[in-house]
């Protein structure tokens, strides 16, 4: 350690006539720490929202959804599956039959026992969603049950209907306006499981059964489906994969990525992230102004000491380095404390879910966090560099003092 760093440390730890300077140094360091902590927490939460929404949407639905153009049924799904799986980046494919329907609990007579739902029939052999991992009551079972058909409902829909696992319900496949010439098809179902994703849009309206029951209910011919759920290996290439699927399958197959289906949701996350660079600049600039003010006050308080050092042979460059070292110390301490506080708070939130949010608004029940080392390096490094640059003005002011005038200064 050179003598400029040694003298800088002595200046910072001096207790004689220095209480006010210590007070300013503390608040400059605290301001930088709080600013760094706030920025790291904000960025980590926004990254967490983006990651959680992407995971929830893709795991419960798919990365790419293929439907028939204008809703027409798609024929011969086993032949189409072979073409789909040959497309680069496709990880798995799951055919489904999906349509609106009416559901009535067995305890007929109460208005609350009848409701609408979006019934989705899937083939358990191809199912790649996270449905089996979200079951909170009963079990994941979409296999035929003799004369009855299996059904899984979201927790909110099950509560509205007042049903529990093992109860019998009737589902009406309605297409167009029911009439004597267009009677709805009806099937009995047994509730085999209740799932809960924390995403209101799914827990509120979706029901799941096997693909054959749904196909009969919605009057589809053998081999016909209404769509395919596609999972990919690399989500960043999902747009290219969607275009490749469109070329491979042709009309009437119409693929859409999750970013197209949930455009508003992902646009909201991106919109929240856009002001972050401006916020980073404003908060850290305020902190650096505090550093400038603190070091200028320190220069004024140490005028005599500066003059003494210069008469003893200290160069103007050495005086500059002394005050740059003080700024670097404040920068390192402030950014380190801020980063440590941010990391501790983020880990507490991740482990104990201290802050909870309404799932029907945010697609999740707790504030998500995603800690990236790159964010800590970028924000902490930026804060430190700005604090070092802010130290240059007071350092140059100190080095430009006249030694004789400095010694005589009281």
Give CA separation, 14 vs 17, 199, 312, 406, 408, in Å.
Answer: 8, 58, 20, 19, 21
Q: Which residues contact 194 (CB under 8 A, 6 or more apart)?
A: 135, 136, 137, 138, 152, 153, 154, 155, 158, 164, 165
Average pLDDT over residues 103-115: 67
pLDDT, tens only, 285-344 = 777 777 777 777 777 766 666 666 676 677 877 778 887 888 888 889 999 999 999 999
Which pLDDT score is estimated for 191?
A: 94
pLDDT, tens only, 67-90 = 998 788 998 888 899 999 999 999
Determine the Cα–Cα distance for residues 232 and 58; give it in Å rounded to an integer.
10
Which pLDDT score is estimated for 110?
A: 47
pLDDT, tens only, 370-385 = 999 999 998 888 888 8
Name the residue with higher pLDDT: 392 or 298. 392
Q: What is the DSSP letter of 163?
A: -
Determine the Cα–Cα distance for residues 189 and 147; give it in Å rounded to an integer.
9
Give kind and range of the element (H or E) at residue 349.
helix 316-352
Determine the Cα–Cα distance for residues 8 and 227; give it in Å rounded to an integer.
70
- Return the bridge partners of 358, or none: none
Q: Which percentage of the chain shows pLDDT scores above 90?
A: 29
Answer yes or no: is pLDDT of 108 > 60. Answer: no
Answer yes or no: is pLDDT of 409 > 60. Answer: no
pLDDT, tens only, 117-148 = 999 999 888 887 778 888 999 999 888 887 88
Determine the Cα–Cα distance for residues 334 and 284; give it in Å rounded to an integer.
11
Answer yes or no: is pLDDT of 16 > 60. Answer: no
Which pLDDT score is estimated for 241?
A: 95
pLDDT, tens only, 152-181 = 999 889 988 889 998 999 999 877 666 666
Largest CA distance in the chain: 109
User: pTM higher than 0.95 for the full model?
Assistant: no
Answer yes or no: is pLDDT of 14 > 70. Answer: no
Average pLDDT over residues 224-230: 93
Which pLDDT score is estimated for 188?
A: 92
Structure tokens at 179: 């009439």
Answer yes or no: is pLDDT of 282 > 80. Answer: no
| Among 189, 187, 121, CA closest to 158 | 189
Q: Which residues contact 382 (CB under 8 A, 6 or more apart)?
A: 280, 284
């Amino acid at each position: 350690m050179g003598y400029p760093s040694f003298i800088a440390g002595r200046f910072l730890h001096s207790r004689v006539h220095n209480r006010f300077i210590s007070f300013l140094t503390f608040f400059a360091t605290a301001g930088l720490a709080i600013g760094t902590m706030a920025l790291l927490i904000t960025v980590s939460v926004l990254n967490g929202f983006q990651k959680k929404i992407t995971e929830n949407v893709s795991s419960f639905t798919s990365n790419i959804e293929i439907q028939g153009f204008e809703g027409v049924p798609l024929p011969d799904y086993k032949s189409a599956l072979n073409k789909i799986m040959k497309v680069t980046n496709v990880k798995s494919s799951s055919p489904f039959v999906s349509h609106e329907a009416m559901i009535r609990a067995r305890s007929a007579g109460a208005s609350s026992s009848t409701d609408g739902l979006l019934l989705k029939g899937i083939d358990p052999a191809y199912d790649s969603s996270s449905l089996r991992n979200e079951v909170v009551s009963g079990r994941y079972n979409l296999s035929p049950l003799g004369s009855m058909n299996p059904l899984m409902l979201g927790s909110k829909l099950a509560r509205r209907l007042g049903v529990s696992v093992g109860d019998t319900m009737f589902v009406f496949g309605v297409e167009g306006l029911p009439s004597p010439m267009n009677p709805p098809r009806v099937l009995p179902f047994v509730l085999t499981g209740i799932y809960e994703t924390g995403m209101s849009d799914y827990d509120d309206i979706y029901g799941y059964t096997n693909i054959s029951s749904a196909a009969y209910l919605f009057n589809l011919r053998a081999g016909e489906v209404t769509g395919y759920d596609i999972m990919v290996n690399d989500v960043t290439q999902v747009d290219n994969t969607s275009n490749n699927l469109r070329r491979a399958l042709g009309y009437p197959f119409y693929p859409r990525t999750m970013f197209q289906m949930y455009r508003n949701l992902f646009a909201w996350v991106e919109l929240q992230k856009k002001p972050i660079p401006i916020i980073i600049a404003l908060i850290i600039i305020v902190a650096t102004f505090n550093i400038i003010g603190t070091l200028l006050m320190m220069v004024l308080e140490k005028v005599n000491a500066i003059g003494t050092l210069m008469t003893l042979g200290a160069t103007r460059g050495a005086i500059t380095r002394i005050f740059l070292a003080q700024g670097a110390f404040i920068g390192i301490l402030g950014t380190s404390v801020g980063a440590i506080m941010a990391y501790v708070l983020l880990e507490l939130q991740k482990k104990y879910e201290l802050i909870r949010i309404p799932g029907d608004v945010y697609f999740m029940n707790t504030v998500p966090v995603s800690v990236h080392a790159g964010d800590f390096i970028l924000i902490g490094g930026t804060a430190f560099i700005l604090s070092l640059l802010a130290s240059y003005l007071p350092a140059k002011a100190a080095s430009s003092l006249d030694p004789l005038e400095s010694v005589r200064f009281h």
